[in-house]
Structure 1
Amino acid sequence: MINTSQRRHIDTILSYGGHQSMYKSYSPTHELIGRSWRRCLTEYGLDPSQPRPARIVTHQTLREHQDSVDEFLNVARAGVEQLYTQISGLGYVLLLSDHRGITVQFLGNKHDDDRLHKAGLYLGADWSEQYAGTSAVGTCIQEQQALTCHRVDHFDSSHIGLTCTAAPIKDPSGQLLAVLDISALNSSRTPESQNFALHLTQLYARLIEDAYFLRRYRNRLVFKCDQSRELVQVNGQLLFALDEQGNILAANTAGRTLLAQYRPFSKDSISLPDLLECQWRDILSITYESKDGVRAFRVSGTQQMLYGILIEPKTNTFSQLNVSEVCASQEESVPALDKLCADDPAMRQTISLAKRLRHRDVSLLILGETGTGKEVLAKAIHATSHRSDQPFIAVNCAAIPESLIESELFGYAPGTFTGGRVKGAKGLIQEANGGTLFLDEIGDMPLQLQSRLLRVLAEGQVLPLGTSQPVNIDVRVLAATHCNVMQLIADGLFREDLYYRLNGATLKLPALKARVDKHYLIKLLLKRLNPAARLRADAMSALLGYSWPGNIRQLVNTLTFAEAVCEEGEITVHHLPEECVAGRLDKSTFALPMQSLNSCDTSTLSAEPLSDPWLEKTNSIPEQQMLIDRLRQQRWNISAVAKQLGVSRPTIYRRMKKLGISLPRDV
């Protein structure tokens, strides 16, 4: 017998003409429900005034449906049981149906057997939309997406007391395999009460789907990745099964979503190296080269970062085939270059290219923001090249006065100009003969000197000022700039022919804020400053969250200061410069000193390989000035500075004594 609530519901459906507003207030999934109602009325010819009893298939039919998904059920069972233990106390039952809507697994309270059987919340129940009308399972099958069908969302009036939430489970090819559903006989009238149920069901549907994916491709190499390095080992969202050449054989739902975004810009068959802008060996060697078994990759054509691990196949066929390939394809270890990068994709490509080109005499153009380590990279390339026993001469084109740069670069004969050396000078280009000439900030070189430099590079000869006889030279030129050289060329400030002479290959250094290996760089730099120093979690979080406009130079300064003022070797957030915590940049506090080039003394320009390249200029960092700045900001109030830095007053006094800082007489 139809009651008043059912009659009202029947009238609503019969008067429904596709107008979503008619029942929009009932459910946040009204669009899905509305499409389902239309299908029930127009395609299936269902009559809402004729409620249908629950349909439970025969034991034989149920067995046939279960047998067709037997392998899947074996994988899903653990996830289903785990989910049920979390929801059973809240009055929910759990249904797992196949792609046709037949419930092939059911978990519920036996005390409610009769009521559940009558409602169709039972093993063998048919929840296909064609028979049962709008329901979570049936509509999920048709719409291929998760939803909650809450009370009056159901088409059949006999189900308007139920709340049901379902999520699809797909096979590795993207075809619907099953539907996971949790339902309750009684629930709150508000559909929002089921939001958590929807998220929980989706979570377990994904876990079951991924477990089945791994089962299906247990004899293949599987690449598992996630946007979080910390969670990829336990909860990697994307799965890709690979063949021996790195081609993607299959992907889980999250992986297919990424491929769908990428495919319009690629060929039909996508390889994982193409997707991640890397070499096949970079993927194969994850286990061999990365310390934690995780490696960072950048999705092709985007800034999206993914952190991946490898799941080895159960059989030995793949491993035996590829172990030798991995070993053979691994790049030569070059410690001086390798230690400049932990695990950043952009840096990895730059270092890989630098390794391949280090023995070639091709000119290199190093691009990057100020403080990203352009000179450090140049020195490492020189130190690992066949010219390593010859001079490395660095010239800061922006630091030499324009009036002196020509004589400094090209040299001059005796008596060429007043104030010059009596015997003349070779010039920095000649000083680099046989070795490497590093032209830093080449974009700031005066235009008139660019022509002379171009001639030197083209002819392999330098003509000192005041002479008529050129001198043969053999130098490899590495140039660097933070400028947009193409814009300089367009503005007429840089010679295009010189650009192409310098740019035999380009090495790009990412800004520190864009690097995904900041965590490792911070630990590495701190260890080199003080192996015994410790960085507390709050300090690390602040450092990782800061934008680092001064890049690695600023990071070195920051760590040096923090290590100097901390107590007992433990750095907390209170020991960091204020701008790192508040997100403000106070250039007066952390202005990095730039070593100017002495026009008369080039003895400091010949470089030897450094064991700690990032800390090359640490000794020149004005720790004294940093502390003085702090004291001045607090008007030489030692207690205020100590409180600001989170240390004791004696610590400040000790640092002042060590650095030779005295209180002003008027304090």
Structure 2
Amino acid sequence: MALRIEQRQHISNLIRLSEGHDIGLGTYREVIHRSWQRCVGEYQLDPGCPRPVRVLTQQALRDHQEPIDELLHVARAGVDQLYGQIAQLGYVLLLTDPRGITVDFRGQHDQALRQAGLYLGADWNERYAGTCAVGTCLHDGQAITCHHAEHFDATHISLTCTAAPITDPQGQMMAVLDISALQSPRSQDSQTFALALVNLYSRMIEDAYFLHRYRNCLILRFDTTRELVHFNGRGLIAMEEDGRIIAANGNGRALIEKHLLRWPSWSDDSSLKATQLFDAEIGDLLSILTSHEDQIRAFRVRANEITCFVTLVEPRGRHLASHEQKESPDPVPALDRLASDDPMMRRVIKLSRRLRNEDVSVLITGETGTGKEVLARALHDSGKRANGPFVAVNCAAIPESLIESELFGYLPGAFTGGQRKGMRGLIQQAHGGTLFLDEIGDMPLSLQTRLLRVLAEREVMPLGADTPVKVDIRVITATHRDMSELIRSGHFREDLYYRLNGAQLKLPALRERVDRQYVIRGVYDALLKERDQGIHLRADAMSALLTYDWPGNIRQLKNALSFALATAEGEEITLHDLPEECQCNRLPVTLSTRASTSTTPYASTMGQPKAQADGRDLLELLQRSAWNVSHVARQLGVSRPTIYRRMRRHGLVPPNQRQMT
């Protein structure tokens, strides 16, 4: 009786809407409001005359199944798996073609479901059935839940339906995945899990179809998380061996659109290359499977400088000759050991290889503690001056009253208090080798003129001398300061800056590097070697070190590990042996959400309240990990109770714990 009263009220409201009256649609979502307007205006559906369920004959159904037979074959495993998760909750599953005809179905074959249209062959096109999840999803091209009275047809208002589109590799609608139930809680929030599940499985089916369709092509699989790229890499790009892009899945197309501002119309002569998207050469992409043990490489995205982890799926039945025959560059140990697979460091090392045997002056920039002197020494050790001296001078550490005599030297009796026999300056001591001037931005202005003369004339005038001394040096400088600002403020000579900046190498901060684990392990092993110790670094300590933001960079990392080694009481370093700041300060977790209105994996959370963005980030991680809290805790480097506290804070409840009746 209550349902019939509600149906009559629903019909009355829609009749008033068709007559142009205001029925208080502010209580309904805009997407539902627009669909109702289409139903009464464009489709001329009569809300007072509910339409009977339309189910196609067997022959007509086969006519709809045949064009997407390949998709039905590929989707079968995903459809069965999803239904296995929802069957106990009273849901059925529908897979429709692009016209809204149910071409595959999972559920009980009973009369109530058939009468509601939850059946094989049922027509859920919006033009016939009115506002519903399948039909409105087909029209808008985005995932949607249509809950109870949001349906246009009064006979459907007891239903809850959630649908998501499945698109082909060119972005065209190919099918719709829907789960529906005859009975559900009144609150639409009860269907949040349904929307997440349908979104997840529609993407899985899309990707399975993509991999099947382009199984004879090279496929780049990428993600912003290294650990999941092999198994759940969200971006897929099919390409030829010359790098020309053939097709891409939804996340791949989103990446291309960021680069081109549009999705191109593909043709045989399309010239778009994968190297235009990633900061890489074609050889870098083709050699992914042999370049690293885990067969993953990190590349920067040219359009937005995000780091993506990329793996390569080879064509079935054959191996690429390209990357097997590709000659690796000659090893340069001094440079190669500075990094593993960080794109920014790879760029620095690549340029350093070219500069190592040149006498061009190099300026190294980067935050304090990023390893500027280590890079300078590696340049020296790997070049033609390796057998000469490497003289390092910290311009900020030498008192201003002594820096001139330290750099240029002096003759006997040049000034009171000097050595009786005089002293060769540091510049002269670097003859035949490399002079490294650290913190060059702190050099007094008065000495900058003299240094400029040294660089221009390649000679030095010691204090008290009448004749200059020729010097053969290569100059490498470093600073953490903004040299442009120093020049504008008059604290650094512009002409000297251009003498020093023959080439610039910019070191990334440790928190920006994707090879942090390699750096941590390298520093730790070096400390163990110095101490002749064999203490194990436990996983919880490593997780904390990976997620700390390291304002002091590698120098601070070395101090933290030294502290842990000095204070640890057992045979291993644990989380609690680290300095206190390393136990609580974490890098922000930057994840992407697959919102129903966008397929991009790089959707920004800027502009959202922080708590809302954090909640969505956590929900995304939980969904991608199949609600495995332990796995998520390991990814974030926190304990399981911490994850449970965050879940309670954001109201996140696993699907198997939700009350569905």
TM-score range for the pair, normalised by the shorter chain length: 0.7 to 0.9
Unaligned runs of 5+ in 1: 585-667
Question: What SS is found at the alignment partner of 1:245?
Answer: coil
Question: What SS is found at the alignment partner of 2:421?
Answer: coil
Report 1:90-239 matches (<5 A): 90-110=89-109, 112=110, 114-239=111-236
Q: Is the 8 A contact 2:286 2:322 kept in 1?
A: no
Report 1:76-91 matches (<5 A): 76-91=75-90
> How far 1:546 sits from its partner (Å)?
2.2
* Partner residue, 1:385: 383
CA 1:341/1:266 → structure 2, altered by over 3 Å: closer, same or farther?
farther
CA 1:540/1:366 → structure 2, altered by over 3 Å: closer, same or farther?
same
Q: Is the 8 A contact 1:527 1:533 kept in 2?
A: no
Q: Is the 8 A contact 1:20 1:31 kept in 2?
A: no
Question: What SS is found at the alignment partner of 2:17?
Answer: coil
CA 1:525/1:387 → structure 2, altered by over 3 Å: closer, same or farther?
same
Q: Quick one: distance in 1 between partners of 2:274 and 2:552?
A: 35
**Equivalent AA in structure 2 for residue 566 of structure 1:** A
Deviations along 1:124-169, one digit per CA (max 9) or x if unpaired, are: 1111111111111111000000011112111111211211110000
CA 1:301/1:367 → structure 2, altered by over 3 Å: closer, same or farther?
farther
CA 1:294/1:567 → structure 2, altered by over 3 Å: closer, same or farther?
farther
* Partner residue, 2:647: none
Count residues with an aligned counterpart: 575
Q: Quick one: distance in 1 between partners of 2:522 and 2:405?
A: 41
Q: Quick one: distance in 1 between partners of 2:303 and 2:490?
A: 31
Report 1:79-478 matches (<5 A): 79-110=78-109, 112=110, 114-264=111-261, 270-316=272-318, 319-324=320-325, 327-328=326-327, 330-478=328-476
**Equivalent AA in structure 2 for residue 293 of structure 1:** Q
* Partner residue, 1:48: 47
Deviations along 1:52-79, one digit per CA (max 9) or x if unpaired, are: 1111122222112111011111110110
* Partner residue, 2:575: 573
Q: Is the 8 A contact 1:182 1:201 kept in 2?
A: yes
Q: Is the 8 A contact 1:166 1:201 kept in 2?
A: yes
CA 1:19/1:542 → structure 2, altered by over 3 Å: closer, same or farther?
farther
**Equivalent AA in structure 1 for residue 228 of structure 2:** L
Question: What SS is found at the alignment partner of 1:16?
Answer: helix
Q: Quick one: distance in 2 between partners of 1:333 and 1:262?
A: 34
Question: What SS is found at the alignment partner of 1:477?
Answer: strand
* Partner residue, 1:16: 17
CA 1:172/1:371 → structure 2, altered by over 3 Å: closer, same or farther?
same
**Equivalent AA in structure 1 for residue 369 of structure 2:** G
**Equivalent AA in structure 2 for residue 227 of structure 1:** T
**Equivalent AA in structure 2 for residue 183 of structure 1:** S
**Equivalent AA in structure 1 for residue 238 of structure 2:** A
Q: Quick one: distance in 1 between partners of 2:63 and 2:382?
A: 68
Deviations along 1:320-340, one digit per CA (max 9) or x if unpaired, are: 34533xx23x43322211111
Q: Quick one: distance in 2 between partners of 1:332 and 1:55?
A: 70
Q: Is the 8 A contact 1:365 1:502 kept in 2?
A: yes
CA 1:39/1:266 → structure 2, altered by over 3 Å: closer, same or farther?
closer
* Partner residue, 1:559: 561
CA 1:50/1:272 → structure 2, altered by over 3 Å: closer, same or farther?
same
Question: What SS is found at the alignment partner of 1:69?
Answer: helix
Q: Quick one: distance in 1 between partners of 2:387 and 2:22?
A: 79
Q: Quick one: distance in 2 between partners of 1:247 and 1:500?
A: 40
* Partner residue, 1:38: 37
> How far 1:297 sits from its partner (Å)?
2.5
Q: Quick one: distance in 2 between partners of 1:70 and 1:347?
A: 48
Q: Quick one: distance in 2 between partners of 1:379 and 1:19?
A: 79
Deviations along 1:170-201, one digit per CA (max 9) or x if unpaired, are: 11111111100111122222222111111111
> How far 1:540 sits from its partner (Å)?
2.2
> How far 1:209 sits from its partner (Å)?
0.5
CA 1:243/1:529 → structure 2, altered by over 3 Å: closer, same or farther?
same
* Partner residue, 2:549: 547
Q: Is the 8 A contact 2:256 2:263 kept in 1?
A: no
* Partner residue, 1:7: 8
> How far 1:276 sits from its partner (Å)?
2.7
Q: Is the 8 A contact 1:563 1:569 kept in 2?
A: no
Q: Quick one: distance in 2 between partners of 1:24 and 1:261?
A: 35
Q: Quick one: distance in 2 between partners of 1:431 and 1:321?
A: 49
Q: Quick one: distance in 1 between partners of 2:395 and 2:284?
A: 37
| Aligned-residue CA RMSD (Å) | 2.2
Unaligned runs of 5+ in 2: 265-269, 587-661
Q: Is the 8 A contact 1:20 1:34 kept in 2?
A: no
**Equivalent AA in structure 2 for residue 84 of structure 1:** Y
Q: Quick one: distance in 1 between partners of 2:497 and 2:484?
A: 9
CA 1:532/1:14 → structure 2, altered by over 3 Å: closer, same or farther?
farther
Considering only CA atoms, is the larger Rg found in Structure 1 or Structure 2? 1
Seq. identity, %: 58
Q: Quick one: distance in 2 between partners of 1:493 and 1:52?
A: 81
Deviations along 1:333-355, one digit per CA (max 9) or x if unpaired, are: 22211111122221111111111
Q: Quick one: distance in 2 between partners of 1:21 and 1:561?
A: 69
Deviations along 1:388-433, one digit per CA (max 9) or x if unpaired, are: 0111111111112222212221222232222323332221111111
> How far 1:542 sits from its partner (Å)?
2.4
Report 1:464-613 matches (<5 A): 464-530=462-528, 532-583=534-585
Question: What SS is found at the alignment partner of 2:178?
Answer: strand
TM-score, normalised with respect to structure 2: 0.83
Question: What SS is found at the alignment partner of 1:414?
Answer: coil
Q: Quick one: distance in 1 between partners of 2:56 and 2:513?
A: 58
* Partner residue, 1:642: none
Q: Is the 8 A contact 2:283 2:323 kept in 1?
A: no
Q: Is the 8 A contact 2:412 2:418 kept in 1?
A: yes
Q: Is the 8 A contact 1:225 1:306 kept in 2?
A: yes
Question: What SS is found at the alignment partner of 2:77?
Answer: helix
* Partner residue, 1:66: 65
Q: Is the 8 A contact 1:413 1:424 kept in 2?
A: yes
CA 1:273/1:58 → structure 2, altered by over 3 Å: closer, same or farther?
same
Q: Is the 8 A contact 2:256 2:262 kept in 1?
A: no
Q: Is the 8 A contact 1:148 1:166 kept in 2?
A: yes
* Partner residue, 1:629: none
> How far 1:51 sits from its partner (Å)?
1.1
Question: What SS is found at the alignment partner of 2:184?
Answer: coil
Q: Quick one: distance in 1 between partners of 2:401 and 2:4?
A: 99
**After the TM superposition, which of the residue ranges 467-476 and 292-301 deviates more from structure 2?**
292-301
Q: Is the 8 A contact 1:221 1:313 kept in 2?
A: yes
Q: Quick one: distance in 1 between partners of 2:576 and 2:138?
A: 55
> How far 1:270 sits from its partner (Å)?
4.5
TM-score, normalised with respect to structure 1: 0.82
Question: What SS is found at the alignment partner of 1:218?
Answer: coil
**Equivalent AA in structure 2 for residue 416 of structure 1:** A
Q: Quick one: distance in 2 between partners of 1:6 and 1:577?
A: 65
**Equivalent AA in structure 2 for residue 82 of structure 1:** Q
Q: Quick one: distance in 2 between partners of 1:321 and 1:352?
A: 21
